[in-house]
Structure 1
Amino acid sequence: MPLGLVLDLLGTFFFAVSGCLLAARRGFDIIGSLFLGALAGLGGGVIRDLILGEVPSAFDSPVYLAAPAVAAVMVFFLKRSVERMRKPLLVFDAGGLALFCIVGTVKALEVGLNPIASALLGVTTAVGGGMLRDVVANREPQLFDPRDIYAVPAMLGAGITAVVWQADLYSPVAAVAIATVVFGLRVLSLRFGWHIPHASAPWQRYED
């Protein structure tokens, strides 16, 4: 099985689990869980493929639909564990983020986009599904949380992937190493509460 497909399916599954976990937290039924899992797992890839002018992989290859289904069933039968789910949700989300920033970048490079555009598309792939998931579940998207660095690990991973590809050093080992760095940075940022500067300097902020 091609490396790109493996990473894409794993990323889809991890994001789908995060969507199903959020659905369980919100009290959705099993259909709602399946829908939110599919939106989280497939949304970023669909956005990526549409930008590239391709038929989305989720609609072209039925195997992609298996990941949200498995995620929904898994969460359904692990309800007791899901009741204390904040950390698992974030960990699965971090896994999807780490894999999708690589997959999106590589796919863009393969069709001939320049490295900068490819890295941007990799970030879009990584954060797209999570943002759709949060919006539909009526939760503030993590992408816009000032107490988080959600997109930064994806930006780093996509940038490294583009550089490694241009240097003709991309390989399964390189992909695993990059994913590990992105995942580790994401988990550490959650553990220590890292964040980046606000959109305006402290002295420029005024109370309404």
Structure 2
Amino acid sequence: MSTWLYWVDLAGVAVFAISGTLMAFRKSMDGFGVVVLAAVTAIGGGTLRDMILNVPVYWLTDKNFFIVILVAALGTMAMLRVTHWFPMRYLLLADAIGLAFFNMMGLQKALAYGTTPFVAVFMGVMTGVFGGLIRDVICREIPLVLRGELYAMTCVAGGIVYILTETYLHNMHLAMFLCVATTLLLRVAAIHWHWHFWVFKASDHPMLRNPDE
């Protein structure tokens, strides 16, 4: 089981590294910038999770994570040098896949270290969104998690499905699969149909409007 989880973790790192590389391409960064952005996107959430859980940061003793990041970044760069373009939906899809994997991994690790289900769901959300948040801040973009479109709440939904499945069916494999599937499908649906929460705007309140309007 631990070996399978390890490969899932590597897959999540690879997908988020691709997401970071795509954003770096969009922002016309140099090769060093590409690798840096791919790395912080891929390991940012897991690093914060491990620091909060007070456990060894997972990538410090395992070079395979950096190998995966480099391979994913260089492979994506090579592809982009051939195509010279990419639709924005590729970035959003890569981000959605990484979000689903990392949400499940963060939740699973938090539970393994004895946290309550509520804290575990929160840790899953944080693991899923933090790398992308750092990526967007570095690139001076409004982070996806703050744009109103369903993002973090898809992780919450996936986490709740995991907890309920594990509690009542006692099937960890099924719980993990349903967590990833729920998070990913909700996020893809939100992208496709533009599902979002109400977005707070200054124009919604007369006291906050521009006086020149």
1:112 aligns with 2:114: yes
Matches within 5 A, 1:36-115: 36-79=37-80, 80-81=82-83, 83-115=85-117
Cα distance in 2, alignment partners of residues 137 and 203 from structure 1: 28
Matches within 5 A, 1:51-200: 51-79=52-80, 80-81=82-83, 83-146=85-148, 148-167=149-168, 169-199=170-200
SS at match of 2:60: helix
Contact 1:105-1:162 within 8 A present in 2 as well: no
Cα distance in 2, alignment partners of residues 51 and 24 from structure 1: 32
Match for residue 24 of structure 2?
A: 23
Match for residue 3 of structure 1?
A: 4
Of 127-136 and 179-188, the range deviating more from structure 2: 179-188
Contact 1:131-1:142 within 8 A present in 2 as well: yes
Cα distance in 1, alignment partners of residues 61 and 162 from structure 2: 26
Contact 1:14-1:96 within 8 A present in 2 as well: yes
Q: What code does the residue aligned with 1:90 have?
A: L
Gaps (5+ residues) in structure 1?
A: none
Instruction: For residue 28 of structure 1, report the CA deviation from its aligned partner.
Output: 0.8
Instruction: For residue 104 of structure 1, report the CA deviation from its aligned partner.
Output: 0.4
Instruction: For residue 186 of structure 1, report the CA deviation from its aligned partner.
Output: 0.6
Cα distance in 2, alignment partners of residues 91 and 103 from structure 1: 19
Contact 2:163-2:175 within 8 A present in 1 as well: no
- What is the TM-score of this pair, normalised by structure 1? 0.91
Q: What code does the residue aligned with 1:60 have?
A: T
Cα distance in 1, alignment partners of residues 119 and 141 from structure 2: 29
Instruction: For residue 82 of structure 1, report the CA deviation from its aligned partner.
Output: 5.7
Q: What code does the residue aligned with 1:107 have?
A: K
Contact 1:97-1:183 within 8 A present in 2 as well: yes
Cα distance in 1, alignment partners of residues 84 and 125 from structure 2: 28
Report sequence identity in percent: 28
Cα distance in 1, alignment partners of residues 84 and 12 from structure 2: 20
Of 90-99 and 65-74, the range deviating more from structure 2: 65-74
* CA RMSD between the two structures: 2.0
Instruction: For residue 58 of structure 1, report the CA deviation from its aligned partner.
Output: 1.4
Q: What code does the residue aligned with 1:141 have?
A: P
CA deviation digits over 1:30-76, x for unaligned, max 9? 22111101100100000110000012101121111122101111111
Q: How many residues align?
A: 207
CA deviation digits over 1:131-160, x for unaligned, max 9? 0111111111111112x1111111111222
Cα distance in 2, alignment partners of residues 130 and 74 from structure 1: 20
Cα distance in 2, alignment partners of residues 75 and 179 from structure 1: 24
